[in-house]
Amino acid sequence: MHLLGTAILNAKPHCEEEKPTPKPKKKRRNRCTDRRRIRFIRRLIASIKAEMIITGSAASENVGRDAALTWKFNQLNTNKNQVLERSEWKPYKSALLQWKKVKHCSRSFFKTCDADSNRRLTFDEWKKCIVADITKTPALRPDQLNPFLYILKAD
């Protein structure tokens, strides 16, 4: 006679193996809220315009959004096939990841812009993604504008 849960001399133990229960996978929450996405897109356009002016590609300092987007797309499209492939936009993406407070938006930017999910961005996808987010947001109120833009004037 033996007690349950005790060892028996020269016998195989009756251990019920406990199977580890798999931990439920955590869903990655989309941390790029609408507010952050709008901030990211505005900053992206401003940086593209500034880069265009600094490189001397702009005829004047008043650069249009569409012209800036076209210029940046053509600059990123190194093989000139009118499609941004992963190898072309990945270095630019790593530069965008350095921006504070919009890191989550820059991480998923190209993926969300890729409408047909083929890991390639056409110019239409690029433009629609950026312009759609800007146009669906209301313009800034006067108290949110940078006061130096309308107080200080260039002579």
Instruction: Report pLDDT digits (tens) over 27-53.
Output: 666 678 888 888 888 889 888 888 888
Q: Considering its fold, how many domains does the chain have in total?
A: 1
pLDDT band at 144 (very low <50, low <70, confident <90, very high): low
Classify residue 147: in a domain, yes or no: no
- pLDDT of 5 reads 64
Q: How far is CA 148 from CA 48, 144, 154, in A?
A: 21, 12, 11
* CATH number reported for the structural domain that contains residue 98 in this entry: 1.10.238.10
pTM for this model (two decimals): 0.65
Q: Residue 40 belongs to what domain range? A: 34-137
pLDDT digits (tens, 9 = 90+) for 84-105: 998 888 888 888 888 887 788 8
Classify residue 152: in a domain, yes or no: no
Classify residue 24: in a domain, yes or no: no
Classify residue 150: in a domain, yes or no: no
Residue whose token pair is 């790029």: 32
